[in-house]
A and B are shown apart, each in its own frame.
Chain A
């Protein structure tokens, strides 16, 4: 039972972070219908830029995070301006190829700059753990969960209550109608990439703080975004968060309880879950349907 609770807490914490990263993916999909397969690389860049600030430039960690955020926004906007801008109106497959190209390019750049040696942040989260009854919960994971939830809330507030958020939601509903009321689609696309890069960076920093940085294994975490969004529904914000948590829980609980099925279950289990959900609900758990009045 104790192990179970511990795994649940770990799963929730990691899952909330996956959810955060997936929000960026969902945002780009909603704004432009583009599946951004480079979301994991955006995440890696955020994590490494924070490493540059905090370790190489020796800036206190939270200040380094604060410095990373505007850089991440900029990276997102630059990628949109110089790559995706030219793909407006192009066939879906070309756009997907473009994001695969970006993914490989960014991996290459990251390995070139930061090498393949694993790196770590200075100790970010307290290492102790807290006991509730007989369950030990490490502060690390509580911090990770708390930070993820905090940023998810900011994201939700941004979309619900700010003018830019409203404009972006309108554009994702009907691009032509958005044009007709004077919304600049280019601006919306640029903002959506900027924000996607930002959520990815925050997620990357949190994961980096938990497991360290490694250009070869880091992108794996980015790929987790796929089962998360497929599960939640490509265009659903609550779906991304709940999908993230479900995947986090699955990959923590399954190896423990179904480990006898063989190793590597933590990699496999999320995809099995996705397959089952998609068979039952092709739009994912929360995918928006077009409203059809009859």
Chain B
């Protein structure tokens, strides 16, 4: 289980981005972390995975525990070894490597090369399209193919928890559905937990059991996905399902108030 206890994150010793964030991801659970641009979602994932350090960021207060051990002082290689894999925002493929090489390098820390082969087949079962493309130079693959590949690459490490940063970014709805179904499938079959950062709240809440909403460096709302889906604020801010057309001026006032409540 992953537990964040009241963490603060500071960049370059002065820019305070996370202002006391606490939440947990239970084993076998899919959780989502929602929020507007600049809320601090990616920063949260980087704090967990240890990638902050290469960007002059640090967890300046609080701590992060994984299965009872503190991981906030570890480097990213240590965190991956402990079973946490991050899929970075923006489809970071190794562009001059082939598709299959990208997947294989995901398993570079593993010693059980017999099972690596099996897991490669597992990824190809998950995304049959990737199998056809196995010899392609990955820099030329389409956005959807690249997103499937980087998710597959993370799975090749056999992680217990995957941190998935905006997998739906810039993809067609049908591909988004495919990717989220794959997440669900891996979650059910391999008991892998996921923490998914999304702007597409609807897609995320559909697969996630639990959701956290972040605003300006704080968690402002959380709950089971079914409850969040019904929450007026979420519907309006993240799903575009506000009561449009009805008493527009009143709506705007309400909007402002709610916004303020979140920020406060």
Contact A180 B51 (CB under 8 A): yes
* CB neighbors of A among B129-151 (8 A): 137, 139-140
On whether A182 and B92 interact (CB within 8 A), knowing A166-B101, A173-B97, A176-B51, the answer reads no
For chain A residues 262-294, which have a beta carbon within 8 Å of chain B?
288, 290-291, 293
A103 within 8 A of B: no
Given contacts A177-B93, A180-B92, contact A170 B105 (CB under 8 A): yes
Please pick, from A163, A174, A176, A291, the residue contacting B108 in the complex, using a CB distance under 8 A: A163
A182-B157, A293-B140 known; A177 vs B96 contact (CB < 8 Å): no
Find chain A residues with CB under 8 A from B235 CB. none
Q: Are B96 and A181 in contact (CB under 8 A)?
A: no
Measured as residues with beta carbon below 8 angstroms from the partner, the interface class of chain A is: 20 to 34
A254 contacts partner chain B, Cβ-Cβ < 8 Å: no
Contacts of A178 in B (CB 8 A): 94
Does B76 reach chain A (CB closer than 8 Å)?
A: yes
A180 contacts B88, C-beta separation under 8 Å: yes
Kindly state the interface size class of chain B when it binds its partner.
Answer: 20 to 34
Report the minimal beta-carbon distance from A229 to chain B, rounded to whole angstroms.
Answer: 18
A184 to chain B: which residues have CB within 8 Å?
Answer: 75, 77
* Chain B residue nearest to A177 in the complex (CB): B92
Residues of B within 8 A of A181 (CB): 80, 85, 105-106, 108, 153-154, 157
Q: CB of A75 within 8 A of chain B?
A: no
Residue of A nearest to B92 (CB): A177
Q: Which residue of B lies closest to A182 (CB)?
A: B80
Q: Is A169 an interface residue (CB 8 A)?
A: yes
Task: Report A-chain residues with C-beta under 8 Å of the C-beta of B93.
Answer: 173-174, 177
Q: Are B54 and A183 interface neighbours, CB within 8 A?
A: no
Across the interface, B54 reaches (CB within 8 A) one of A169, A170, A179, namely A179
A182 touches B77 (CB 8 A): yes
- How far is A176 from B53 in the complex, measured between Cα atoms in Å? 11
Question: For window 87-102 of chain B, which residues contact chain A by CB distance below 8 Å?
Answer: 87-88, 92-97, 101-102
Q: Is A167 an interface residue (CB 8 A)?
A: yes
- Interface pair B139/A293, CB less than 8 Å apart: yes
Q: Which residues of chain A are within 8 angstroms of B86 by Cβ–Cβ distance?
A: 180
List B residues 47-103 near A (Cβ within 8 Å). Answer: 49, 51, 54, 75-77, 79-81, 85-88, 92-97, 101-102
Query: At the interface, yes or no: B26 with Cβ under 8 Å from chain A?
Result: no
Once A174-B95, A291-B96 are accepted as A-B contacts, the answer to whether A180 and B77 lie under 8 Å apart by CB is no
Known: A166-B108, A291-B139. A180 touches B94 (CB 8 A): no
**Contact present for A182 and B97 (CB under 8 Å):** no
B108 and A173 contact, CB distance less than 8 A: no
In the complex with contacts A177-B88, A183-B108, A291-B137 CB distance below 8 A = yes
Q: Does B104 contact A (CB under 8 A)?
A: yes
Question: Complex formed: what's the CA distance from A182 to B75 in Å?
Answer: 9
Bound-complex Cα distance A115 to B94 (A):
47
Determine whether B171 belongs to the interface, using a CB cutoff of 8 Å to chain A: no
Residues of chain B within 8 A (CB-CB) of A163 are 108
Query: Within residues 34 to 54 of chain B, which ones have a CB less than 8 A from any CB in chain A?
Result: 49, 51, 54
Q: How far is the CA of A287 from the CA of B108 in the complex (A)?
A: 27
Residue of B nearest to A184 (CB): B77
Q: How far is the CA of A107 from the CA of B203 in the complex (A)?
A: 63
Query: Which residues of chain A come closer than 8 Å to B81, judged between CB atoms?
Result: 182
Closest to A293 in B: B140
The answer to whether B96 and A288 touch across the interface, beta carbons within 8 angstroms, is: yes
Given contacts A167-B108, A174-B95, 13 further A-B contacts (CB under 8 A): A163-B108, A166-B97, A169-B101, A176-B51, A178-B94, A180-B87, A181-B80, A181-B85, A181-B154, A182-B76, A182-B85, A182-B157, A183-B108
Task: List the interface of chain B (C-beta within 8 A of A).
Answer: 49, 51, 54, 75-77, 79-81, 85-88, 92-97, 101-102, 104-106, 108-109, 137, 139-140, 153-154, 157
